[in-house]
Amino acid sequence: MQKTMVKEEFDAAVAKLRAALDSSEAVLIGAGSGLSTAAGYAYSGDKFKKYFGDFVRRYGIQDIHSGGFYEFRDMETYWAWWSRHIWLNRYEPIPSDLYSRLRELVKDKNYFVLTTNFDHCFQRAGFEKERLFYNQGDYGLLQSRKPHGEAAEATYENRHLIKEMLIVQGFRISSSGRLIPPDVSEMKMKVPAKLIPRSPEDGDYLVPSLRKDKEFVEDEGWRQAFLNYTFFKKDTEHARILYFELGVGKRTPENIKYPFYEMTAENKKAVYACVNLSEAVAPEQIRSRSICIQDDIAKVIRALG
């Protein structure tokens, strides 16, 4: 990991970003997993072991990301894992006020959000639904495992089902939505077969609606959000716009990073800003209109506010 900026560099970069934000006619936020990490989500370490210690011991799974790709032998165990995974990252309260602070920065602007995150934090923090495009999916939705026919366009909300699955494993859920684990000896690693969800359209198992492969369902909500994003880009292609990239890594740069580079290059009034703990860079072509801040996103948002 590269070093963060020294104070003088940081202050100057934040002042430049503040000026770009104030003078912009529109803001397109591009958010990756680094934003939720900065908001306090923990995908490994002590909290992970608190809720997934049994999976660590039995399967050797060491973090949320790798567990999401583990091929469990039966759906009862699969859903024991995924019910915890989904609740902690979709329904528990957001760990900090970072997303709310970000909303305060842009709420009076013509803004739009493009994100690869599944946690739905933007909408939960008060961002307008019509200004959001979760192009990689949502932990709060299920879809058929291999969708066909009517199931090819169908998704299903899952909160009630996920809650049931957690309770039968021994967990409790507080009035605020916090997940409370049982004693280790009482924690179950399977859910009953009767709770395993199936598609009413094609009868196949339901799974989280995430773009992990070519089976991802682009439902009516996804298509409408894509249209809203398309219209926003068209309406602002010649505007004084800030392309505001937050926590986007190198894993899938084609979703946000590369399009932001291209749109900044095509519009000479545009400014590109990248805030990232270790990968804040811009290509030479747009470097004179770029603001790269290599530091903690939460620290930057607080400084802007």
Q: How confident is the model at residue 251 (pLDDT cuts 50, 70, 90)?
A: confident
CATH number at residue 34: 3.40.50.1220
- Classify residue 85: in a domain, yes or no: no
Residue 252's SS3 state is coil
Give the pLDDT of residue 153: 94
Q: pLDDT tens-digit profile of 116-132?
A: 999 999 999 999 999 99
pLDDT one-digit tens code per residue, 134-183: 999 999 999 999 999 999 999 999 999 999 999 999 999 999 999 999 98
- pLDDT at 250 (0 to 100): 82
Write the pLDDT tens digit of every residue in 201-230: 999 999 999 998 899 999 999 999 999 999
- Does residue 199 belong to any structural domain of this protein? no
Range of the domain at 259: 1-41+97-136+218-305
Asked whether residue 209 is assigned to any structural domain, the reply reads no
Residue 151: what are its φ and ψ, rounded to 5°? -70, -15
30-55 pLDDT per residue, tens: 999 999 999 999 999 999 999 999 99
Residue 293's alpha-carbon distances to 81, 131, 214, 262, 271, in angstroms, are 36, 25, 35, 20, 14
Residue 242 lies in a domain: yes
Number of structural domains, the chain? 1
The answer to whether the beta carbons of residues 244 and 27 sit under 8 Å apart is yes
Residue 125 lies in a domain: yes
- State the pairing for strand pair 241-246/206-210: unpaired
Q: pLDDT-derived band of residue 2, with 50, 70 and 90 as boundaries?
A: low
CA-derived radius of gyration, the chain: 21
Q: What single-letter amino acid sits at 245?
A: E
Residue 176 falls within a domain, yes or no?
no
In this prediction, residue 1 carries a pLDDT of: 47
Q: Is residue 67 a contact partner of residue 52, using CB atoms and an 8 Å limit?
A: yes
Q: Are 166 and 178 within 8 A, CB to CB?
A: no
| Domain annotation covers residue 142 | no
State the Cα–Cα distance between residues 253 and 258, nearest whole angstrom: 6
Counting Cα atoms < 13 Å in the Cβ hemisphere of 140 gives 13
Q: Does residue 48 form part of some domain?
A: no
pTM: 0.95
Can you tell me the distance from the alpha carbon of 270 to that of 266, in angstroms, rounded to the nearest whole number?
8
